[in-house]
């Protein structure tokens, strides 16, 4: 897709309404993790360096259109000031008055937009109220781009619009992963249930050449092939659905990879007695909790022949040892190929980010998205309102 960036805008002296995601964890009125603030800092710094007046638009929690003091963005101002190295102003109303007092390089944070019911309603009137105090709109909150809210959708249509640095990086990474990827493309999809990723699987089989299915959802596909998965997590009511996805993949020329061997235990806890068996040999009363070494070797061989990888979900119950082995090994192999310049690797989703951090490779993939729902909807092939609104 074509979209404008900060480099395409005349920013000097302009009021830039900048949508950010600073929905950070707060305990006792103090921010405990500044990661999301750090992600938008490059955009804010570039805007300041260009002589813009930076107005930050954001939400915090789910106040549902009412003022909830505990969800005020005022409490994150000190952390924002520390990260940015500049005093951040705050406006809980009277937008025009607050903005008119700004000079070039100033940073001003508006109160939680979701205190106004017009935000989540994508209300044109509320968007117009915001637009009236700005000259340019910048969206740097990909994580909120799947929502058609006033600050992500309606506002973008009222002012010259562009993507911030974080949004720009995210869109370029996703374009490289699924938009116009370098083939062959492999996708790793894991997690507990097929039912939560039907749209994702349906979209991927038509876009990738290799679909590697792991986690609990692999058990459903194995059972659909007539394999007894014993006490394993399995959606037996979705066996026909799994067979339909497999047929769709075959018709599209997409090879589905399922575990060849598995690590099983009689109970779901850390470090129980385990056995590594072929998938056909899972005994009654035991459950599959990870892919085995032969399966990992097969995955690594497939990745060796691919140029692009998109990853969402772990291959096993990685939160507990020793069921983190397959995810960790495959992730490290992908990271090694990425470091060698042989693989473009893009990953996202809450469990995925945690799993890659656990494997020690979170900084070694080409790009890791922390966007959650927006990343998943992009992988599902859905149009994201906040992204579509930026199209040039």
Q: Residue 252 maps to which CATH number?
A: 3.40.50.1260
349 assigned to a ligand binding site: yes
Instruction: Write out the residue range of the structural domain in which residue 277 sits.
Output: 181-379
Given 141, 165, 189, the domain boundary residue is: 165
Query: Do 257 and 288 belong together in one domain?
Result: yes
Same domain, 31 and 140: yes
Residue 392 has a pLDDT of: 66
> In the predicted model, is pLDDT for residue 99 greater than 80?
yes
Q: Which residue, 1, 72, 6, is CA-closest to 42? A: 6
CB atoms within 10 A of CB 358: 16
Residues 84-99 as b/e (b if ≥16 CB within 10 A, e otherwise) read bebebbbbeeebeebb
- The verdict on residue 45 lying in a domain is yes
* Ramachandran category for residue 64: left, alpha or beta (phi over 0 → left; psi -120 to 50 → alpha): left
Domain end marker among 110, 141, 165: 165
Within this chain, do residues 127 and 220 fall inside the same structural domain, yes or no? no
Catalytic-residue membership of 350: yes
- pLDDT tens-place string over residues 193-247: 999 899 999 999 999 999 999 999 999 999 999 999 999 999 999 999 999 999 9
Question: What is the percent of the chain with per-residue pLDDT over 90, rounded to a whole number?
Answer: 90
Strand order in the sheet with 274-278: 274-278, 261-265, 287-291
Q: Are residues 113 and 15 in the same domain?
A: yes
pTM over 0.75: yes
Residue 390: inside a domain: no
Residues 161, 188 within the same domain = no
In this prediction, residue 297 carries a pLDDT of 98
User: Do 108 and 190 share a domain, yes or no?
Assistant: no
Catalytic residue among 4, 45, 129, 193: 193
Tell me: do 247 and 318 sit in the same domain.
yes
DSSP string covering 321-390: TTTTHHHHHHHHHHHHHHHTTS-EEEEESHHHHHHHHHTT-TTTSSEEE--THHHHHHHTTPPPHHHHTT
- Catalytic status, residue 94: no
Higher pLDDT, 125 or 1: 125
Same domain, 212 and 186: yes
pLDDT tens digits, residue range 292-313? 999 999 999 999 999 999 999 9
For residues 215 and 263, membership in a common domain is answered with: yes
157 and 200 together in one domain: no
Residues 230 and 89 in one domain: no
The verdict on residue 49 lying in a domain is: yes
Q: Answer yes or no: do 368 and 257 share one domain.
A: yes
| 260 annotated active-site | no
The one catalytic residue among 350, 372, 381, 382: 350
Q: pLDDT at residue 280 above 80?
A: yes
* 262 carries a ligand binding annotation: no
pLDDT reported for residue 296:
98
Identify the active-site residue in 45, 373, 381, 382. Answer: 373
206, part of any domain: yes
Res 1 pLDDT > 70: no
pLDDT for res 98: 97
Is position 385 within any domain?
no
Q: Is the pLDDT of residue 391 over 90?
A: no
| Domain-embedded: residue 20 | yes
What are the φ and ψ backbone dihedral angles of 289, each rounded to 5 degrees?
Answer: -125, -5
Of 302, 362, 278, 277, the C-alpha closest to 328 is 362
Residue 82 counted as an annotated binding residue: no
Q: Which whole number is the average pLDDT over 266-276?
A: 96
Q: Is residue 145 part of a domain?
A: yes
d(CA 234, CA 232): 6
Residue 378 pLDDT > 70: yes
Structural domain ending residue among the three candidates 134, 165, 196? 165
Q: Is 13 a catalytic residue?
A: no
Is 243 annotated to bind a ligand? Reply is no
The number of domains in the chain is 2
Task: Scan for tokens 């109303």, then name that residue.
Answer: 93
Contact 177, 346 (CB under 8 A): yes
pLDDT 10s digits, 154-205 = 999 999 999 999 999 999 998 999 889 999 999 999 988 999 899 999 999 9
Known binding residue 62? Answer is yes
In a domain, 360, yes or no: yes
**Binning pLDDT at 50, 70 and 90, where does residue 127 land?**
very high
């Amino acid at each position: 897709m074509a979209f404008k960036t900060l480099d395409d805008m005349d920013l000097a002296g302009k009021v830039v309404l900048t949508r950010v995601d600073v929905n950070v964890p707060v305990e006792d009125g103090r921010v405990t993790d500044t990661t999301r603030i750090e992600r938008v800092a490059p955009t804010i710094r570039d805007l300041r360096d260009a002589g813009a007046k930076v107005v930050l638009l954001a939400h915090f929690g789910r106040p549902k259109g009412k003022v909830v003091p505990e969800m005020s963005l005022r409490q994150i101002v000190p952390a924002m000031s520390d990260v940015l190295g500049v005093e951040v102003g705050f406006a809980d109303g009277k937008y025009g008055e607050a903005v008119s007092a700004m000079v070039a390089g100033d940073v001003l944070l508006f109160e939680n937009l979701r205190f106004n019911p017009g935000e989540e309603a994508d209300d044109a009137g509320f968007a117009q109220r915001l637009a009236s105090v700005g000259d340019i709109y910048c969206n740097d909150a990909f994580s909120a781009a799947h929502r058609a809210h006033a600050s992500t959708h309606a506002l973008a249509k009222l002012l010259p619009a562009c993507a911030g640095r974080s949004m720009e990086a995210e869109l370029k990474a996703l374009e490289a992963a699924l938009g116009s990827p370098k083939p062959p493309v492999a996708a790793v999809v894991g997690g507990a249930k097929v039912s939560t990723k039907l749209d994702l699987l349906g979209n991927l089989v038509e876009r990738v050449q290799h679909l590697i299915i792991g986690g609990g959802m692999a058990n459903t596909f194995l059972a659909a092939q007539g394999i007894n998965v014993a006490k394993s997590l399995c959606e037996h009511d979705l066996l026909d659905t799994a067979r339909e996805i497999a047929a769709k993949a075959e018709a599209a020329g997409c090879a589905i990879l399922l575990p060849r061997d598995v690590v099983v235990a009689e109970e779901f806890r850390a470090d129980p007695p385990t056995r590594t068996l072929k998938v056909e040999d899972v005994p009654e009363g035991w459950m599959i909790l990870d892919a085995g070494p032969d399966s990992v070797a097969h995955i690594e061989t497939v990745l060796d022949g691919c140029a692009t990888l998109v990853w969402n979900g772990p291959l096993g119950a990685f939160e507990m040892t020793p069921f983190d082995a397959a995810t960790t090994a495959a992730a490290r192999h992908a990271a090694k190929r990425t470091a060698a310049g042989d693989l473009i690797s893009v990953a996202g989703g809450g469990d995925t980010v945690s799993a890659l951090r656990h494997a020690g490779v979170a900084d070694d993939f080409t790009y890791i998205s922390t966007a959650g729902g927006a990343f998943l909807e992009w992988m599902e092939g859905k149009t994201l309102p906040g992204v579509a609104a930026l199209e040039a």
